[in-house]
Amino acid sequence: MIKATCLILSVVILSLGSGRVLAQNEPADSLELSVAGKNAKTDDLFFNGIIAKRRNDSKLAKELLEEFVQKRPNSSAAYYELAKLYVKDKNAEKADVYIRKALALDTANKWYKEQFATMQADKGAYLEAGNIMAQLSAADPRDRTYPVMSAAYYQSAKKYDLAIVYIDKAIAQVGSDEELMGRKLQIYLDMNDVEKAAGVIRQLITNDTRNGKYYKLLGDLYDNNKMPQKAAEVFEQAQKLLPGNADVEFGMASHFLKVGDTASYLTYIKKVVVNKELDADTQLELLKAYLSSIPSNDSALKTQAPVIRQVVNQHPSNADVQAFFGYYFSVTNQVDSATEQYKKAIAIKPSNFTVWTALLENYVYANNGDSLLRYTEKAMRLFPNQATVHYYNGLAHNTKKNYPAAIKAINRAIDMQPESEKQTLASMYSSLGEVYYYTKQTDLMEKAYAKALEITPNNASVLNNYSYFLSERGVKLDEAEKMSKKSLELQPGEGTYMDTYGWILYKKGNYEKAREYVQKAIDLAGGKADATLYDHLGNIYFKLGASDKAIENWKISKQKGNDSPLIDKKISEVKLYE
């Protein structure tokens, strides 16, 4: 039963391909292609070729169909199928041979002509493709697709007059369809005929006088073609007709920007940004464009908070809007406010990993171990396979001095982290080395830092941290000095690296040079210089025999938060304790 069905199906396909129409009651054995059983095997070649094609076995499909056409050279359907197979395989030469054979056998077949037109266009023969589609349009004037494609191909061939003829045919069938009018507009733009292009837009306005985007389109057309007065007239008319329309206001903002009226631009772009007609996504895009047009310094950006807040208040349940406010606070160094916004955003949309990452980074930046630990544990439940979350969890445990948990979490992160993301992977190994230092696992510390430098040999941060921990242990000081010096060559003005280099010189007994570098680090940090810097400078002055200056700097270190019991002893006893 199955074989008989297959045979009848193949006969039907062949009869259609050859141009014959099989009558509903015509017996299969009356067909020349399937007389008796001797042709059954040949018929199966075609049928099995089609099956192979549907299974995406292009090689087998071509073999079967090519064997078939050798035995049945008058089957247009087989040549058509072979042409499509060779198009898919990007063999244009063979595809062209087969489609021409199919057309020679069946000159009226529209499918073959469509395929031929597409193939001509693919090789850049747009005029020929347009002519074929024009023929199809003449043969079937009710099909809108043909004049549209004719216009497109003639446009690509730069036969603009013909393109207009055929796009007008399509428009005549369906009326002033926006898509077709848009195609006609583009043809006139390609012709550099501004007035005729404007005429198309004016027709759209006539059809829908309340649609602000058409006025914007017309104004933009004039502005882009250096006709600012005409653009201004369009926007003036539009503003009277549609006051408060978002598209019109956006068009006016763009117009003022192009004519160099920055004050008016800012006035109107603000109006657009907070326009309630717009959806949240559009407002966000416009808000980003607006913010990028003003000075990027903190003070200028901070003045824009009311505008952003207005958009945020319009979309209290939109996670992306809430998150953007968080990014704004981060950029303007308002870390606490950013953190609160990120929390609002993830409460609305817990699956947004990007926002979770921003929140966790804020806690890392603020060195807030308790919150970092709490939120990384929440994040791990949502994103168990994200290396970054486990890494930040390890940093949280390190801050809390829970070193075994930190080692476990960071190692888990390293196992998950893609090797292609080298900077992040190196940072993970560097952090692991730090934990090993605190746990006095010096061999593992050195292996971790060596691995980090193997991945990123010019990573200034890793070079600095590794060299500092070596200096703290007082070992491999020559190697530490080389690494520290390299970190300064990579980032010459980094105060932290200067302190490390000075501290290594101190450990090596070069006190005057050490004082120079640590003092530079303090000067660069200004009021943000931390307790460690002043403690180091106090030790150096003591070694230089300047006890008064040593005590002075130790006292500053204590005021800056140095709560080590050694600092009090150094100050009271005027004696060096390390």
DSSP 240-305: HHSTT-HHHHHHHHHHHHHTT-HHHHHHHHHHHHT-TTS-HHHHHHHHHHHHHTS--SHHHHHTTH
Tally Cβ neighbours within 10 Å of residue 478: 9
For residue 444, what are the CA distances in angstroms to 19, 188, 398, 432? 80, 71, 16, 9
d(CA 52, CA 435): 60
Q: Which amino acid is at 550?
A: A
Supply the pLDDT for residue 40: 64
d(CA 402, CA 307): 44
d(CA 194, CA 404): 72
For residue 419, what are the CA distances in angstroms to 387, 424, 452? 12, 9, 12
Average pLDDT over every residue of 566-576: 93
d(CA 364, CA 366): 5
Residue 25 pLDDT > 60, yes or no? no
36 vs 76: which has the higher pLDDT? 76
d(CA 444, CA 85): 59
DSSP 377-406: HHHHHH-TT-HHHHHHHHHHHHHTT-HHHH
* Own/partner long-range contacts of 362-367 (Cβ < 8 Å, ≥24 apart): 362/330, 362/335, 362/338, 363/339, 363/392, 363/396, 364/392, 364/395, 365/335, 366/335, 366/339, 367/399
Average pLDDT over every residue of 427-438: 97
Residue 273 pLDDT > 50, yes or no? yes
What mean pLDDT value characterizes the chain? Answer: 90
pLDDT tens profile 41-64: 788 899 999 999 999 999 999 999
Average pLDDT over every residue of 472-491: 96
d(CA 73, CA 499): 86
pLDDT tens profile 302-335: 888 888 899 999 999 999 999 999 999 998 989 9
Average pLDDT over every residue of 351-357: 97
Q: What is the DSSP letter of 211?
A: -
Q: How confident is the model at residue 115 (pLDDT cuts 50, 70, 90)?
A: very high
Residue 4 pLDDT > 50, yes or no? no
Q: What is the DSSP letter of 509?
A: T
Q: How confident is the model at residue 465 (pLDDT cuts 50, 70, 90)?
A: very high
- 3-class SS of residue 143: coil
For residue 321, what are the CA distances in angstroms to 264, 273, 393? 26, 12, 27
Average pLDDT over every residue of 277-298: 83
Q: Does domain 208-278 have CATH number 2.30.42.10?
A: no
Residue 50, H or E segment: helix 40-54
d(CA 96, CA 109): 16
Q: How confident is the model at residue 39 (pLDDT cuts 50, 70, 90)?
A: low
Supply the pLDDT for residue 28: 32
Q: Which amino acid is at 194?
A: V
d(CA 355, CA 324): 9
pLDDT tens profile 7-17: 323 333 333 33
Of the ranges 192-196, 288-292, 392-396, which one carries the lowest mean pLDDT score?
288-292
Residue 390 pLDDT > 90, yes or no? yes
Contacts of 240 (CB under 8 A, 6+ apart): none
389 vs 17: which has the higher pLDDT? 389
What residue spans in the chain does CATH classification 1.25.40.10 cover?
208-278
Residue 5 pLDDT > 60, yes or no? no
217: which 2 tokens?
């389109």
d(CA 116, CA 100): 8
Half-sphere exposure of 91 (CA within 13 A, CB side): 14
256 burial type by CB count under 10 A (0-12 exposed, 13-18 middle, 19+ buried): buried
Q: How confident is the model at residue 422 (pLDDT cuts 50, 70, 90)?
A: very high
Of the ranges 95-104, 259-268, 431-440, 477-486, which one carries the lowest mean pLDDT score?
259-268
The structure's pTM equals 0.65
- Helix, strand, coil percentages (3-state) for the chain, rounded to 5, are 75, 0, 25
479: which 2 tokens?
């190697």
SS (H, E, C) 468-493: HHHHHHCCCHHHHHHHHHHHHHHCCC
475: alpha, beta or left? (left if phi > 0; alpha if psi -120 to 50): beta
d(CA 45, CA 14): 11
Q: How confident is the model at residue 373 (pLDDT cuts 50, 70, 90)?
A: very high
